[in-house]
Amino acid sequence: MPHVIVKLYPGRDEERKRRMAEAVASTVEEILGCDRKAVSVAIEEIPRVDWAEKVYRPDILDKEDTLYVRPGYDPLGE
């Protein structure tokens, strides 16, 4: 507790993903007051062509009640 999943387009190198995951874990630890051993961060690379159906619709549109930061784009054009 807590577990954070970051979904993004493929293309970042492993060092950049590692640095981002460490920064997210540090921020979670600091703000929530969690022990670092309790924090986990995963990265899922989603191809651009699949983004709308695999991320935008299920994780953003269908879960608006849990979304704290809304994106400024709409790949569905709705």
Angstrom distance (rounded) from CA 60 to CA 29: 25
Quick one: how far is CA 69 from the chain centroid? 11
- Catalytic amino acids? 2
Question: Taken in order 76, 5, 12, 26, is the CA torsion positive or negative?
Answer: positive
Angstrom distance (rounded) from CA 34 to CA 68: 20
